[in-house]
Structure 1
Amino acid sequence: MDLKLLYAIRGWIAFVAFMDLGTAIRSYIEKRSFLSKTICDIDNFIDEEYTTSRVLGSYSILKAIILIHCALYIHYHPIISMGIWSLIITLGLYFTETVYFRAATFNFYVVFPFILNVLTLGILIYTQKSIKHLNVTSSENEENYSRFLGTRKKNFVKSKRI
């Protein structure tokens, strides 16, 4: 696997994590999630305290944290495995709530995250199978992190000597 492709995969995983944080924020602000009853069933609306929305928001935050760690430490197989399983559980949630329990309808808020998570799941499975041949060390992550912060160890060491 080429390092440029690995950086693209990291960016994609970070994008999906950002989308999950958006879902979490939307769940806490709107107080109605896609799992809530539809507007046609407003008379039978059971979730008056918006518990479902808060649970979905908390789950989205946990999934975003897992995916952020997966993007940062993509060379560790257990981290990729955690990302894969969090995506599988999310796909199971969307599928069962829409098809089996019929708590949600097929709308943009269900179909778009489902497609996004299926693509990400395929990318993570591909990455896990092809990462064996890649030699990425934790020092590369530290270097990327220092670039992100705008500091470099070399500049820090030179300023200390003066």
Structure 2
Amino acid sequence: MERKLLYAFRGWIAFVAFMDLGTAFRCYIEKRSFLGDHSDTQFIEGDYTVSRIIGMYCLLKAIALVHCTLYIHYKPVVSMGGCALALTMILYSSEALYFRSSTLNFYVIFPCVLNTITLLGLLYIPKRLRLWDPQTDIDDENSQLVRQMTGFKKRRAPKKLP
């Protein structure tokens, strides 16, 4: 049962990464970003810097979440994914609520809800499944070789007679 939960959660993280990948592609296709003041006085004609920056950030976050999916049993990688999720929520909510460069629309609320659910899962599921507990059975190659070597008896050199 625990493995099924882990595989389902890995699929969820991959889904969130896919959504960010879609956002990155959308930022390059649509040119204008959903964040930023959309008045014509702020933008230079043909300058879509904000959109490209958000696209690159979403691409970087998607790569971090894919690594988090593949290496969920490593605590630093999960921490990196959690920080990326938290930073995205801070970015979207601050742009909408504090800087007022965007409205509270679907493009702001949906990623925040998705990232909140994923962040809560990253905080809860690896601890519940004890993925980060130290393993008593170490199965790496070096420890196996050391165990095999302890089975041999040391040969002693024959005593030399005077």
Higher helix share: 1
Among residues 56, 59, 63, which one is paired with 1:58 in the alignment? Answer: 56
User: Percent of counterpart pairs with the same letter?
Assistant: 57
CA distance in 2 between counterparts of 1:53 and 1:73 reads: 30
My pick for the range that moved more, 24-33 or 123-132, is 123-132
1:11 partnered with 2:11? yes
CA distance in 1 between counterparts of 2:43 and 2:64 reads: 31
Question: How far does residue 129 in structure 1 lie from its aligned partner after superposition?
Answer: 2.3
- In terms of Rg, which structure is larger? 2
CA distance in 2 between counterparts of 1:109 and 1:47 reads: 24
Q: What are the within-5 Å matches in structure 2 for residues 1-162 of structure 1?
A: 2-38=2-38, 42-46=39-43, 48=45, 49-132=47-130
Q: Note the residue ranges of structure 2 that are not aligned, 5 or more in a row.
A: 140-162
Query: What do the CA deviations read for 1:119-143 (whole angstroms, capped 9, x no partner)?
Result: 111111112422425789xx9xxxx
CA distance in 2 between counterparts of 1:56 and 1:47 reads: 18
CA RMSD of aligned residues (A): 2.1
CA distance in 1 between counterparts of 2:132 and 2:40 reads: 57
CA distance in 1 between counterparts of 2:116 and 2:66 reads: 17
Question: How far does residue 33 in structure 1 lie from its aligned partner after superposition?
Answer: 1.3
CA distance in 2 between counterparts of 1:99 and 1:47 reads: 25
Q: What is the match of residue 159 of structure 1?
A: none
1:47/1:66 CA distance change after superposition, 3 Å? farther
- TM-score (normalised: structure 1): 0.76
Contact 1:74 1:80 in 2 (8 A): yes
1:47/1:19 CA distance change after superposition, 3 Å? farther
Question: How far does residue 32 in structure 1 lie from its aligned partner after superposition?
Answer: 1.1
Contact 1:35 1:103 in 2 (8 A): yes
- TM-score (normalised: structure 2): 0.76
Query: What do the CA deviations read for 1:49-93 (whole angstroms, capped 9, x no partner)?
Result: 111000000000000000001011111111110010000110110
Question: How far does residue 34 in structure 1 lie from its aligned partner after superposition?
Answer: 1.4
Letter in 2 for 1:119: I
